[in-house]
Structure 1
């Protein structure tokens, strides 16, 4: 029997050729640090094969795949390893699938929450129906012929109440999961987060371009004359370019909807930038931020001026965290009695 370990960026690492009871599962599920293979595989009924979690849209970890192959060979299997890095999907396609999966999760979790809530209500209704048959304030009459029934009713009420509470808690859990899934796209496309993400992606792209030219970046060099290294850098360059373009379009749409992307040309020294609910005097305008009085001085205040900075301490406020701008005159008119 031959087991095929196939990695592509589009599908991740898939493991074909196993069958139930052949002994491969014990190897694939085991986390083994001694051989260098540390990630257990999982089986997917949908895919009909084993797969390595979180391997999709990523470069193959060749050392780990070879270690896994050696462990399977030691168990008596014939194993082949195939890696096709150029087989990948666009970032837009990957992101769209992530959004659709989040929507599916939200719908599924909503169903779980509704079912649990229904069970909770039904259990609580049972408590009420049993209680209706018991006179108000009636104690259990020890020794009376009704004692056995009364204790049985008490136990049934207690069980139903516990079930109701447990199902209510379960409904709250799934409702929280539903809300988190529904917030996925909103969280991912938040303009402030997207701008921070773009800064990092552009820095990564600059590093890749330096490596492609044989220059040092992030503290080390790569050899662009190595065909394998060169191919990986080309793929990574394409991936980063696609992702940057995607998120730039998200920001463009946010601007069209009224979001303001602040920049150095929007500020002058002595003007005010808003962060949270506080206006801070701009002490210096930098390429990626404005220098303001130390942020802790803004706790509980509407306005923080240069003279409010304890010991002259300052803070840098990135442009993507700025939520407003005012001149000194505009601020004076708005906060004539500001602290």
Structure 2
């Protein structure tokens, strides 16, 4: 049977046509295939084939796959390689899939947590029932006919209690993972995170556009005719549009996107629960007195500096409020009093 290695952005890197004992598993589990194959392939019962984790929605590094194919051929296995980086799903489709998978993980982890909690309680009850025999402090009488049973009871009690603790730890572990999976979408669409993500994506898009014009970007140049640049441009454009819509939806619900136009020197900015006087307005942040000045205070002015003029910056995506000096005066007086 021919082994088929295929890669598309839509499905990722898959290896089909292997059979148990043909020697392919040992090769696929290696980590020696260069830049993008530093982790081994895994077997998927759902897909019925081997797959490379995290290869979906990414371009393949073809030399690594060619090396893998050659290793399989050297082992006497007929192998083909097909790479189609242009076959991809839209960013909206990929994001929807990620959200659905997170929901499925949350449900699965909740089940694991419930099972572990039940086992923990059952083990605790078993230990408690045994311990009741020693409720009045009856010691183990050495040499008495009851000694073997008492020793067994003590061992069983210890084993049950250890199992209860272990299962309790497992229940907490899976409960934490359930919470993380359930909060995936909320964290993913957090406006502050989204704004930072958009800055990175826009910088990446500008670099791609420079490469397409034959210019250097990020310290190097690329072939303007490389089809990968066209695909990457499409991906970035889609993703930027998606996250821009997330910000628009957040603004419709009352979220404020702060910019340098909202501040001037002498204003106060609310940063992580403390009001700081604005020392300077920058393109992406405001300069404020060092944040250590804010320990135990709700308002920090320039005159409150206790760190020899050291300053910090508050990025606009981490700002949650603004007041003028006049608006802040009553609160500042109340704090001084």
TM-score (norm 2): 0.94
Unmatched tracts of structure 2, length 5 or more:
none
Which of 227, 233, 238 is equivalent to 2:234? Answer: 238
Match of 1:276 in 2: 272
Match of 1:101 in 2: 101
C-alpha contact (below 8 Å) 1:7/1:85 kept by paired residues: yes
Residue deviations 1:232-290, cap 9 Å, x none? 11110110011111111111111112111111221122111111122111122222222
Match of 2:216 in 1: 216
Deviation at 1:3, TM superposition (A): 1.3
Match of 1:67 in 2: 67
Secondary structure in 2 aligned to 1:50? strand
Match of 1:326 in 2: 323
C-alpha contact (below 8 Å) 1:269/1:283 kept by paired residues: yes
Secondary structure in 2 aligned to 1:73? helix
Match of 1:193 in 2: 193
Alignment of 1:175-324 (within 5 A): 175-224=175-224, 226=225, 229=226, 231-309=227-305, 310-324=307-321
Deviation at 1:293, TM superposition (A): 2.2
Deviates more, 1:294-303 or 1:317-326: 294-303
Unmatched tracts of structure 1, length 5 or more:
none
- Report the CA distance shift for 1:169/1:177 in structure 2 as closer, same or farther (over 3 A): same
RMSD over equivalenced CA pairs, Å: 1.8
Secondary structure in 2 aligned to 1:40? coil
C-alpha contact (below 8 Å) 2:3/2:16 kept by paired residues: yes
C-alpha contact (below 8 Å) 2:35/2:61 kept by paired residues: no
Residue deviations 1:277-312, cap 9 Å, x none? 221111222222222223333233222223344443
- Report the CA distance shift for 1:30/1:320 in structure 2 as closer, same or farther (over 3 A): same
Give the distance between the partners of 2:296 and 2:35, measured in 1 at CA. Answer: 56
Deviation at 1:35, TM superposition (A): 11
Give the distance between the partners of 1:68 and 1:267, measured in 2 at CA. Answer: 57
Match of 1:42 in 2: 42
C-alpha contact (below 8 Å) 1:38/1:64 kept by paired residues: no
Deviation at 1:145, TM superposition (A): 2.1
- Report the CA distance shift for 1:314/1:16 in structure 2 as closer, same or farther (over 3 A): same
Deviates more, 1:253-262 or 1:238-247: 253-262
Match of 1:12 in 2: 12
C-alpha contact (below 8 Å) 1:12/1:56 kept by paired residues: yes
Secondary structure in 1 aligned to 2:178? helix
Deviation at 1:142, TM superposition (A): 2.0
Paired residue total: 335
Deviation at 1:127, TM superposition (A): 1.7
Residue deviations 1:175-231, cap 9 Å, x none? 11111111211111111111000000011111111111111111111121x3xx1x1
Secondary structure in 1 aligned to 2:286? strand
| Aligned: 1:336 with 2:304 | no
Residue deviations 1:138-193, cap 9 Å, x none? 11122222222222222221111111111111111111111111121111111111
Give the distance between the partners of 2:36 and 2:127, measured in 1 at CA. Answer: 57
